[in-house]
Structure 1
Amino acid sequence: MSTIHLMIVDDHEVVRLGMRAAFELEADISVVGEASNGAEALAKIPTFMPDIILMDVRMEKMGGIEACREIRSLYPQISVLMITSYPDDEAVTASVLAGARGYLLKNVSRAELLKAVRQVASGQALLKPEATQKAISKMMIITNKSHSVPGDDLTEREREVLALVARGYTNKQIAEALYLSEKTARNHVSHILEKLGLSRRSEAAVYAVEHKLLPPRQ
C-alpha cells in the first residue's frame, strides 16, 4: 500500500492542527508539511513534494484559487483539493478552472474528509457535475471573448472612460473631465472591468495600451 503525501494549507493554525489530527492515525496518509497561505505553499512544495494539497480557498497574501492555478502549472502531478467554510458557486467554478480536483466544506465529517483525500489520490475528481458544467460554460465565454475585437463591446462613453483610466485618472477626475457624477464614473469603470474580464484598474490600463484603445491626445 503506497502512502499518500499530504500538505495542508490554511491561514488558521488551529484549523491546520485539527486537519493534521484527522490524518494522524491513518497508515496510508502522511502529512508532510503545512503552509499558512498560497505563496508559502509554493515556496515549500520543492521541500515536501506532496501528492495532494488540501487548501483553503480564502487566505491572505495569496488565496487558494490563485495558488491552485500556479501549482497546477508548475507541478501538474500534484492534485489540489480545495476546502472552505462557506458554499460559494463562483468559488467552485473558479476552483475548477484553476485545476482543482475537488471542493469540500470544512464542516465535513472526518470520514468524509478521509474518503475525499483517498478518492483524489486514486485519480478521481470530487466535483459535482453542475460545477463542472458551469466552469465549461465560463471557459466558452472567455474563449469567445478572446476571438472578438478588443474593446468591441464597449460603448463610446466607456472607451472614453477607459482612456482616462489608462492615463491614471481617478474616478473624481474622470467625472470632472467628462462632466459626470463621480458615482456614474465609478459605475462606468465597473462595467468596463466586467466586460473585459478584468479585476483591477491597473489591468484595464495595461489592456488599453496593449490593444491600442487610447485615442491620440488632443
Structure 2
Amino acid sequence: MATQTLRVHLVDDDYLVRLGMERLFEGLEHIELESVSSTGDAAISEAVKLAPDLVLMETMVRDVDGVQAVHRITSQMPQVKVAMLSSSASYDLMCDAYRAGAVSYLSKYSVSSDLGAALRLIHRGESIFSMPPDLQRFPLPAEPADSFEIQLIRRLPARDRAILSALTAGRTNAQIAGSLHVSEATVKAQITKVMAKLNVSGRVQLAVLAVRAGVADL
C-alpha cells in the first residue's frame, strides 16, 4: 500500500526563514511543501482554496496575525490541522494559539533535525508543544472560559472598545462620532475593521459579542 504524501502549507513573512524551511522540506520523504504564504490574509485564502493536510503558521505575520489566522482557518476548514511555528516559547502565546484552534506549537530552533517526524505525529493526531524552560508541562485548558472573539474584543484598544460600548447602546455612527470627538468616517472605518477581525457580518452580531465581552458600560 502506497504511503500517503502529507501536504503542507508554510506561512512566514521572513524570506530567509522561508528559504531555509523550503530546503528542509526537500529532504523529507512523503511530505510535500505544497505552497507558501507571507501574510495572514494569504494564508487564510490558500488554506480555504487548497485544503492542505497541515498549515505551519508563524506567530508574527502581517495583515492578520498568526493567532487570528489560525482561528479563521480552523473555523472555516476544521479538517485542516494548524501548527504554530515560533522563535519564542511564550506560555501566553501558546495558550492563545491553542484556544484559537492550533494543535501544536513548534519552536523554529528545535524542528531542523526532526521536522518530518513532528509533522507526521501532528498529522496522526498528536499534539506537540515546545515548552518554555521554566515549565514542566504545558497545561492545556480543556474548555476555555470565553470564546476567541470575546478575548479579542477585550484586547482591543480603548477607543475601539468605547465605540463598541456606544454601539451596544444603539447609537448611530454620527452620535458615536460626536461623543468621541472624531469624524463619522473614522467611526465607520473602525467598526468595519473590528468586524473584519472578528469575522462577523453585522452590527447586531458585533453588539452581542461586545455585551458578552463586558464592554457595554465603559
TM-score (norm 1): 0.64
Aligned length: 165
Gaps of 5+ in 1: 147-160, 174-202
* Corresponding position: 1:207 with 2:199: no
Q: Kindly, what percent of the aligned residue pairs are identical?
A: 25
Q: Which amino acid aligns with 1:13?
A: Y
* Corresponding position: 1:115 with 2:122: no
Deviating 4+ runs (over 6 angstroms): none
Give me the whole-angstrom Cα distance separating, in 2, the residues matched to 1:96 and 1:115: 21
Is the 8 Å Cα contact of residues 163 and 213 (structure 1) preserved in structure 2?
no
Q: Which amino acid aligns with 2:80?
A: I
Is the 8 Å Cα contact of residues 165 and 215 (structure 2) preserved in structure 1?
no
Give me the whole-angstrom Cα distance separating, in 1, the residues matched to 2:215 and 2:68: 28
Give me the whole-angstrom Cα distance separating, in 2, the residues matched to 1:165 and 1:92: 30
SS in 1 for 2:96: helix
Give the structure 2 partner of residue 200 of structure 1. none
Give me the whole-angstrom Cα distance separating, in 2, the residues matched to 1:58 and 1:10: 8
| Displacement after TM superposition at 1:163 (Å) | 9.1
Q: Which amino acid aligns with 1:207?
A: A
Give the structure 1 partner of residue 10 of structure 2. 8
Change (3 A) 1:61 1:27: same
Gaps of 5+ in 2: 151-160, 167-175, 182-205
Give the counterpart of 1:27 among 26, 29, 40.
Answer: 29
Question: In angstroms, what is the RMSD of aligned CA positions?
Answer: 3.5
Q: Spell out the pairing of 1:130-169 with structure 2 (5 A cutoff).
A: 130-133=137-140, 135-136=141-142, 139-140=144-145, 142=146, 166=166, 167-168=176-177
Is the 8 Å Cα contact of residues 20 and 31 (structure 1) preserved in structure 2?
yes
Q: Spell out the pairing of 1:70-149 with structure 2 (5 A cutoff).
A: 70-127=72-129, 130-133=137-140, 135-136=141-142, 139-140=144-145, 142=146
Give the counterpart of 2:67 among 65, 68, 79.
Answer: 65
Change (3 A) 1:109 1:44: closer
Is the 8 Å Cα contact of residues 7 and 34 (structure 2) preserved in structure 1?
yes
Give me the whole-angstrom Cα distance separating, in 2, the residues matched to 1:163 and 1:21: 47
TM-score (norm 2): 0.64
Give me the whole-angstrom Cα distance separating, in 2, the residues matched to 1:214 and 1:100: 33
Give me the whole-angstrom Cα distance separating, in 2, the residues matched to 1:9 and 1:56: 6
Q: C-alpha offsets along residues 38-93 of structure 1, whole Å, 9 cap, x if unaligned?
A: 21011122443210011101111011111111111111111111011112111100
Q: Which amino acid aligns with 2:20?
A: G
| Displacement after TM superposition at 1:22 (Å) | 0.4
Change (3 A) 1:64 1:165: same
Give the structure 2 partner of residue 183 of structure 1. none
Is the 8 Å Cα contact of residues 57 and 84 (structure 1) preserved in structure 2?
yes
Give me the whole-angstrom Cα distance separating, in 2, the residues matched to 1:132 and 1:48: 33
Give me the whole-angstrom Cα distance separating, in 2, the residues matched to 1:105 and 1:51: 20
Q: Which amino acid aligns with 2:26?
A: E
SS in 2 for 1:92: helix
Q: Which amino acid aligns with 1:90?
A: D
Give me the whole-angstrom Cα distance separating, in 2, the residues matched to 1:13 and 1:117: 22
Q: Which amino acid aligns with 2:12?
A: D
| Displacement after TM superposition at 1:116 (Å) | 1.4
Change (3 A) 1:62 1:162: closer
